[in-house]
């Protein structure tokens, strides 16, 4: 009996120690994301950056928080309300995670406003680009603004009585005025709200304020809102902003109209449960509580702020024309050296595989590829996946022209691209009207792959041309996101591309591919095989290395495989921009592992994976991160880079990542991160600056070669 008790105790201790070891290698996903956003906010603190660059990073950090609360906090609150208390891999229940988020996010919000009020706003005032306080306007300016309010703004405002039997629901992420009015000849008060419409600009300009002068819309409306309530004194007035749960599931029943269901979700998202209330810190406490009760926000969800709401709007200053001296010098994308502008894209691709690294190189050849395919009489079919497109997408316009000219055009439009659903619905309708065969994806999976297949008739046969990418078909974000694009007419890749489209439109299994590795199914299996192969080499005492670049890492099986590899002695270098839920759980694993994150002027978005393979590196680009949602619940693609020249070039991008000492952060074992420190007496190395200079140099070399070719032969003297 005593022996049994001893065994049970040892087994329990072993399980406890095993759980503790597992927890050491995991970082909570939400806290990891907040640490990523801290790295974004840190850029706004860099005093060597131009003012509007700092304002832009502050704006991005605020926008990121908006999405985080809608999706991640909203999802956790639903879990808590449902009574599902399953802990995460770190052992934290939803309530514990929400408490940690509250502490970390509240500190981040305080830092944002401290930076804005103490540094950025005074600098904006010096530069003449800060909002003008209404209290400091001249009588002439004040009168002009009052007239502007009455003629241009008041007709668009709609007061909403809130204390009625069925109060109206207030929309998500809008600045709203709460107004407490005293009823005539009474001490009683009533509560009214006014939602500031999207149709009105946040910065209100007037000729009376000078060329660059402006006031904030909410201050202007607050000043003159009494015109809407004659005879009712205003007792209290405050702005506020509600963030609502955006993590709303869509039921995908067979035979249902998926587009209609997505429209219903868009409506529901505007008016779902409140997950955050932002309200000025100087709002009278009783009035603030009244507003919180009205929107259904408890103290846990309420965030007092020390300044203007919706910091994201100030970022527009960095993108609007003018004030160029307050911005970073723009980098002009160069034409890719591998693309001859005098030839068609089909002739260019026929000469060999082309790799384009935007935005250092121009994304224009990718757009040209689809536009030329739409116009080329020899093209018989175009197939493409659209996930997030530009507002006036040239891709959508080209696909419509192709269908109207009689080509067979099939487009998979992913309606569940979060927060882009409305645009995708409209574009899907536009495509269908033009005669495009529109498919809404695979039941239960988001289709996130970046692929275009063009079938062209050449010399009596059909030839396939393909584009594979790590980023969306969006010419706007292609100027802001760093991504890789492969253009090829490789027969194996072309056959796989056809098989891929046949699988997702015909709902057959993703299998029997020769070169591509799709998910769900094949990609994760291949990644685990590649990690295991490096692990086995290390155990045999051979050199072994894994290098990878991605946006996020949280897949349990992949993290366990990396843990095993780190303990076996594999050298691991990861560049994870955002969420990173893995850290080596043992001291020996940490010795040979380095995890960094780079935040710079362009959003690092390319996914690159490289496995040493005993000196013959295996290199891949992918649409997927190493996340469970990408590897198990999305349709994705991983593409091998087999051309030796292109493989070397992709590996050089990884070299630059891990050499960065200017913009890189080291992710520590507890999930926090610190800037990389350059070695003493060395100039900091910035990856993006380096890659842009390489692109410029390549373009100059190409220009010189072209000039020499065209220059007539001169007679010898």
Q: How confident is the model over 506-537, as pLDDT tens digits?
A: 877 767 789 999 999 899 999 999 999 999 99
Q: Is the pLDDT confidence value at 676 over 70?
A: yes
> What pLDDT shows up at residue 21?
53
Q: How confident is the model over 45-62, as pLDDT tens digits?
A: 999 999 999 999 999 999
> What pLDDT shows up at residue 269?
44
CATH topology of domain 19-131: Methane Monooxygenase Hydroxylase; Chain G, domain 1 (1.20.58)
Average pLDDT over residues 82-107: 85
Radius of gyration of the chain (CA): 28
Q: How confident is the model over 305-318, as pLDDT tens digits?
A: 999 999 999 999 99
Q: Is the pLDDT confidence value at 16 over 60?
A: no
Q: CA 653 to CA 600: how far, in whole Å?
A: 15
**Better-scored residue on pLDDT, 248 or 78:** 78
Q: Is the pLDDT confidence value at 251 over 60?
A: no
Q: CA 569 to CA 639: how far, in whole Å?
A: 27
> What pLDDT shows up at residue 666?
96
Q: Is the pLDDT confidence value at 252 over 50?
A: no
205 given a catalytic annotation = no
> What pLDDT shows up at residue 18?
47
Mapping DSSP to helix (H, G, I), strand (E, B) and coil, where does residue 596 land?
strand
Count of beta carbons in the 10 Å neighbourhood of residue 162: 18
Q: Is the pLDDT confidence value at 86 over 60?
A: yes
Average pLDDT over residues 209-232: 94
Q: Check for a shared fold between 19-131 and 518-700.
A: no
- From the candidates 357, 448, 605, 690, which is the catalytic residue? 448
CA distances from 418 to 119, 171, 172, 611 (A): 34, 18, 15, 32
> What pLDDT shows up at residue 100?
93
> Average pLDDT over the chain, rounded to whole?
89
587: which residues sit within 8 A by CB, 6+ positions away? Answer: none
> What pLDDT shows up at residue 446?
84
Q: How confident is the model over 408-458, as pLDDT tens digits?
A: 999 998 766 455 566 667 888 889 999 999 888 676 788 899 999 999 999
Using pLDDT thresholds of 50, 70 and 90, give the confidence band for residue 486: very high
Q: Say how far residue 604 (Cα) sits from the centre of its chain.
A: 10
Q: CA 396 to CA 392: how far, in whole Å?
A: 8
**Better-scored residue on pLDDT, 487 or 588:** 487
Percent of the chain whose pLDDT exceeds 70: 90
Q: How confident is the model over 610-634, as pLDDT tens digits?
A: 999 999 999 999 999 999 999 998 9
Q: Is the pLDDT confidence value at 463 over 90?
A: yes
> What pLDDT shows up at residue 566?
97
Q: How confident is the model over 22-39, as pLDDT tens digits?
A: 567 899 999 999 999 999
Average pLDDT over residues 294-300: 91
Q: How confident is the model over 492-507, as pLDDT tens digits?
A: 999 999 999 998 888 7
Average pLDDT over residues 131-157: 95
CATH of domain 518-700: 3.30.870.10
Domain boundaries, the chain: 19-131, 133-307, 345-514, 518-700
Average pLDDT over residues 106-114: 97
> What pLDDT shows up at residue 512?
78
Assign domain 345-514 one CATH number from 3.30.870.10, 3.40.50.10490, 3.40.50.300, 3.30.1060.10.
Answer: 3.30.870.10
Q: Count CA within 13 A, CB hemisphere, residue 428.
A: 25
Using pLDDT thresholds of 50, 70 and 90, give the confidence band for residue 66: very high
DSSP state of 50: -
Q: Any idea which architecture 133-307 has in CATH? A: 2-Layer Sandwich (3.30)
Count of beta carbons in the 10 Å neighbourhood of residue 707: 9
Average pLDDT over residues 93-109: 92
């Amino acid at each position: 009996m005593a022996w049994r008790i001893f065994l049970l105790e040892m087994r329990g201790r072993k399980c406890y120690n095993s759980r503790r070891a597992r927890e050491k290698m995991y970082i909570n996903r939400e806290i990891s994301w907040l640490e990523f956003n801290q790295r974004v906010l840190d850029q706004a603190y860099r005093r060597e950056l131009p003012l509007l660059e700092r304002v832009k990073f502050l704006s991005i950090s605020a926008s990121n928080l908006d999405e985080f609360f809608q999706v991640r906090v909203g999802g956790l609150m639903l879990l808590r309300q449902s009574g599902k208390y399953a802990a995460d891999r770190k052992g934290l229940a939803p309530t514990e995670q929400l408490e940690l988020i509250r502490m970390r996010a509240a500190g981040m919000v305080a830092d944002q406003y401290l930076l804005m009020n103490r540094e950025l706003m005074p600098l904006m005032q010096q530069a003449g680009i800060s909002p003008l306080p209404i209290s400091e306007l001249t009588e002439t300016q004040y009168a002009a603004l009052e007239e502007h309010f009455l003629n241009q703004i008041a007709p668009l405002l709609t007061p909403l009585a809130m204390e009625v039997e069925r109060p109206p629901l207030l929309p998500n992420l809008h600045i709203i005025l709460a107004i407490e009015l005293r009823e005539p000849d009474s001490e009683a008060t009533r509560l009214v709200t006014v939602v500031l419409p999207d149709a009105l600009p946040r910065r209100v300009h007037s000729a009376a304020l000078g060329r660059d002068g402006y006031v904030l819309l909410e201050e202007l409306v607050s000043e003159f809102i009494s015109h809407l309530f004659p005879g009712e004194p205003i007792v209290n007035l405050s702005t506020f902003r509600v963030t609502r749960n955006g993590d709303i599931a869509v039921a995908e029943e067979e035979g249902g109209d998926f587009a209609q269901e997505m429209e219903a979700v868009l409506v529901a998202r505007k008016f779902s449960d409140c997950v955050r209330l932002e309200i000025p810190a100087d709002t009278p406490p009783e009035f603030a509580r009244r507003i919180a009760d009205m929107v259904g926000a408890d103290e846990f969800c309420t965030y007092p702020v020390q300044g203007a709401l919706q910091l994201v709007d100030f970022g527009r200053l960095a993108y609007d024309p003018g004030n160029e001296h307050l911005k970073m010098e723009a980098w002009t994308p160069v034409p890719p050296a591998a693309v001859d502008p005098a030839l068609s894209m089909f002739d260019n691709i026929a000469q060999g595989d082309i790799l384009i690294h935007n935005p250092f190189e121009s994304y224009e050849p990718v757009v040209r590829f689809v536009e030329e395919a739409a116009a080329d009489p020899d093209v018989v079919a175009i197939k493409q996946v659209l996930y997030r497109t530009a507002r006036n997408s040239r891709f959508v316009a080209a696909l419509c022209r192709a269908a109207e000219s009689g080509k067979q055009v099939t487009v998979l439009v992913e309606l569940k691209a979060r927060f882009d659903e409305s645009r995708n619905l409209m574009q899907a309708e536009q495509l269908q009207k033009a005669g495009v065969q529109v498919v809404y994806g695979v039941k239960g999976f988001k289709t996130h792959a970046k692929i275009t297949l063009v079938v062209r008739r050449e010399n009596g046969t059909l030839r396939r041309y393909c584009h594979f990418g790590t980023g969306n078909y969006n010419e706007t974000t292609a100027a802001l996101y760093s991504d890789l694009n492969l253009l090829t007419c490789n027969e194996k890749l072309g056959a796989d591309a056809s098989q891929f489209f046949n699988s997702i439109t015909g709902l057959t299994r993703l299998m029997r591919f020769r070169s591509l590795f799709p998910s769900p199914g094949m990609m994760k299996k291949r990644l685990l095989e590649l990690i295991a192969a490096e692990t086995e080499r290390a155990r045999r005492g051979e050199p072994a290395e894994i290098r990878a670049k991605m946006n996020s890492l949280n897949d349990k099986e992949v993290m366990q495989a990396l843990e095993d590899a780190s303990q076996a002695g594999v050298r691991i270098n990861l560049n994870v921009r955002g969420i990173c839920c893995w850290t080596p759980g043992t001291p020996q694993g940490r010795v040979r592992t380095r995890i960094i994150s780079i935040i710079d002027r362009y959003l690092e978005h390319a996914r690159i994976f490289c496995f040493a393979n005993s000196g013959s590196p295996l290199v891949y680009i992918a649409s997927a991160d190493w996340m469970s949602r990408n590897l198990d619940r999305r349709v994705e693609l991983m593409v091998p880079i087999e051309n030796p020249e292109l493989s070397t070039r992709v590996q050089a991008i990884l070299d630059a990542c891990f050499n960065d000492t200017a913009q890189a952060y080291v992710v520590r074992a507890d999930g926090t991160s610190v800037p990389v420190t350059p070695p003493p007496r060395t100039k900091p190395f910035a990856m993006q600056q380096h890659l842009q200079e390489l692109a410029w140099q390549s373009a100059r070399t190409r220009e010189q070669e072209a000039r020499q070719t065209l220059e007539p032969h001169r007679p010898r003297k």
